[in-house]
Every structure is written in structure tokens, then in C-alpha cells.
């Protein structure tokens, strides 16, 4: 069982308070969502949800696990963004050619701010 995927499914069921709603949101079948949560419960050795025909509620253990799982997933997402961000910073030279009026009215005021955001970038302008 893919624990990361199972955590995502569990968190979505808990947030949406239902297996069917989570299945729709995750574009999965309801039986697959139910099976994944059951497998997660089996691997942990605890019940995460109290299921009735009309509602799904977290157990006390499920509530603690939900809070931890949500934090873990948020931390993982932040780590992925940070890793991606280190490769996504623009570098090199930006060359802009525009008419004199447009360049002075729109390009010049924004270019300084843009270069402040990306210090590894330089700019060359040509207003014709």
C-alpha cells in the first residue's frame, strides 16, 4: 500500500466527512476509497472512523492521526515547493524591445521591481 496516497485519501475523507464525497473529489471510486482507508486502519491497528449509514466521524485516535497526517502532508508539499523553487529562479539576460512611449510608460516602471525579485537576471532594453 502506498502510504502517501493512503494518507491523502484518509485526510480527504476526514475533511469532506464522507467516503463518496472524497471519492468524487479524488476522482476515484467509492469502494477504492473505502478499501484504502480500511487498509490504512489495518496497518495502524486502530479504527480511524466511526461509520454509520448516514455519517462518518473520526474516532479520538482518528482525530489525532488526522491532525498529524494533515501536518505531514503540508510539510511535504512545502518541501516540494522549496525544492522546485530552487530550480525555478530565472537567470540570464532579459531582452525587451518596445516603442519609446510604451517602454517608458509601462516597461521601465515594472522592470526595476521585476529585477529586484530575480537578482540573477539582468535586462537590456531597446526603445525604438
Name, in order, each residue with C-beta under 8 angstroms of 43's C-beta and a sequence gap of 6 or more. 1, 3
Mean pLDDT of the residues in the chain = 90
Give yes or no: residues 72 and 121 share one domain. no
What's the pLDDT score for residue 82? Answer: 78
Pairing of strands 56-58, 49-51: antiparallel
Give yes or no: residues 33 and 56 share one domain. yes
Give yes or no: residues 79 and 102 share one domain. no
Q: 77-92 pLDDT, tens per residue?
A: 888 877 776 566 778 8
Give yes or no: residues 52 and 112 share one domain. no
Residue range of the domain that includes 107: 89-127
Give yes or no: residues 22 and 76 share one domain. yes
Give yes or no: residues 80 and 103 share one domain. no
Q: 61-72 pLDDT, tens per residue?
A: 999 999 999 999
Q: What is the pTM of this model?
A: 0.65
**pLDDT band, residue 112 (cuts 50/70/90):** confident
Look at the chain and report how many structural domains it folds into.
Answer: 2
Go through 57-84 and write b for each residue having 16 or more CB atoms within 10 A of its CB, e for each that does not: ebeeebeebbeebeeeeeeeeeeeeeee
Give yes or no: residues 57 and 102 share one domain. no
CATH at 39: 1.10.10.10
The more confident residue out of 82 and 12 is 12
Is the Cβ–Cβ distance between 104 and 127 less than 8 Å? yes
Is the Cβ–Cβ distance between 10 and 26 less than 8 Å? no
Give yes or no: residues 113 and 82 share one domain. no
Is the Cβ–Cβ distance between 73 and 103 less than 8 Å? no
What's the pLDDT score for residue 90? Answer: 79
Is the Cβ–Cβ distance between 49 and 35 less than 8 Å? no
Give yes or no: residues 94 and 77 share one domain. no
Name, in order, each residue with C-beta under 8 angstroms of 90's C-beta and a sequence gap of 6 or more. 118, 120, 121
Amino acid at each position: 500500500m502506498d502510504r502517501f496516497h493512503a494518507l491523502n485519501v484518509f485526510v480527504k475523507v476526514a475533511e469532506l466527512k464522507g467516503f463518496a464525497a472524497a471519492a468524487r473529489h479524488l476522482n476515484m471510486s467509492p469502494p477504492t476509497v473505502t478499501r484504502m482507508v480500511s487498509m490504512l486502519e489495518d496497518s495502524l491497528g486502530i479504527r480511524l472512523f466511526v461509520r454509520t449509514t448516514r455519517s462518518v466521524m473520526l474516532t479520538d485516535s482518528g482525530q489525532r492521526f488526522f491532525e498529524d497526517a494533515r501536518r505531514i502532508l503540508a510539510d511535504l508539499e512545502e518541501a516540494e515547493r522549496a525544492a522546485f523553487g530552487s530550480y525555478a529562479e530565472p537567470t540570464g539576460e532579459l531582452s525587451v524591445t518596445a516603442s519609446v512611449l510604451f517602454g517608458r510608460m509601462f516597461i521601465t516602471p515594472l522592470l526595476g521591481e521585476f529585477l529586484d525579485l530575480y537578482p540573477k537576471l539582468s535586462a537590456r532594453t531597446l526603445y525604438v
